[in-house]
Amino acid sequence: MTSEPTDGATRDEQSNDGHSEEASSRRRDRRVASLGGLAAAVVSFGGLASVGTASSVEARRLLDSVLPTVRFAASAYVAGGASILALMLTLITFSISHDQEFRSTHYRRIRDVAVLTTASIVGSVLLLIFLSFPIDQADVQRAWYLPVYYAVLLGAAVTGGAFISVVLMLYYAVVGMIGLAEDGSSSDLIISEDG
């Protein structure tokens, strides 16, 4: 009779260890995705800014050349993000209709991807709205073009970095689902019957 509480305690400890391992795995995935996105943003901003500007006249010229590319990239982020959100809905439907029960970490990972994708879409749409202003036709002082040029570069770098983070987080979600397809009994996503 004294062994039952010990077995129950052991099961609880194993369950807590499993939850802490899941949480640390999810934190690691988010950290890698965040660092990847940050690195992409820094590299892209650095690469674009390395062209440099010496005067406001050059900033205007560089702004004219970079606007079409940034518009295209922001539109691609919006379209890609919408596709990812649709795929997340499909993954949720699959998870709910699956025979086995998924751990809460699986659903949290899907939520994290959806939140970051939504933020990426919103940022890209705001960037597109900003770029829809007739900047090249504005009748302003030449000094105004320099901060606008760097603001456009920063917006492009941040939205690009956010989208890279989305892709990395999506990669970890896909790897988990592939592990489930390969061997569902040993997958970390499934709640096993013994604990």
Domain edges within the chain: 3-186
Does the structure show a pLDDT above 70 at 167? yes
How confident is the model over 48-88, as pLDDT tens digits? 667 666 567 777 788 888 888 999 999 999 999 999 999 88
185 CB-near residues (< 8 Å, 6+ apart): 192
Please provide residue 53's backbone torsions phi and psi, each rounded to the nearest 5 degrees. Answer: -135, 135
**Rounded Cα distance, 101 and 99, in Å:** 7
Does the structure show a pLDDT above 80 at 23? no
User: pLDDT confidence of 13, banded at 50, 70, 90?
Assistant: very low
Residue bearing the bigger pLDDT, 167 or 50? 167
Neighbours of 61 (CB within 10 A): 14
User: pLDDT confidence of 158, banded at 50, 70, 90?
Assistant: very high
In this prediction, residue 10 carries a pLDDT of 46
How confident is the prediction for the chain on average, in pLDDT?
78
Structure tokens, 171: 């990669």
Distances (CA, A) of 42 to 23, 79, 116, 119, 175: 28, 23, 18, 19, 27
In this prediction, residue 121 carries a pLDDT of 95
How confident is the model over 126-136, as pLDDT tens digits? 999 988 887 66
How confident is the model over 141-154, as pLDDT tens digits? 667 778 888 888 88
Residue bearing the bigger pLDDT, 18 or 4? 18
Does the structure show a pLDDT above 50 at 90? yes
Residue bearing the bigger pLDDT, 8 or 166? 166
pTM (whole model) above 0.85:
no
Please provide residue 190's backbone torsions phi and psi, each rounded to the nearest 5 degrees. Answer: -100, 140
**Rounded Cα distance, 128 and 40, in Å:** 20
Does the structure show a pLDDT above 90 at 172? no
| Angle (CA) 46 50 51, round 5° | 135
Residue 102: strand pairing partners: 190
Torsion of CA 25, 28, 34, 37, to 10 degrees: -90
Residue 137 CB-half CA count within 13 A: 4
Nearest CA-CA partner of 109 in 192, 182, 39, 33? 33
User: pLDDT confidence of 188, banded at 50, 70, 90?
Assistant: low
Q: How many helices (H) and strands (E) does the chain have?
A: 4, 0
Structure tokens, 143: 């000094």
Please provide residue 102's backbone torsions phi and psi, each rounded to the nearest 5 degrees. Answer: -90, 150
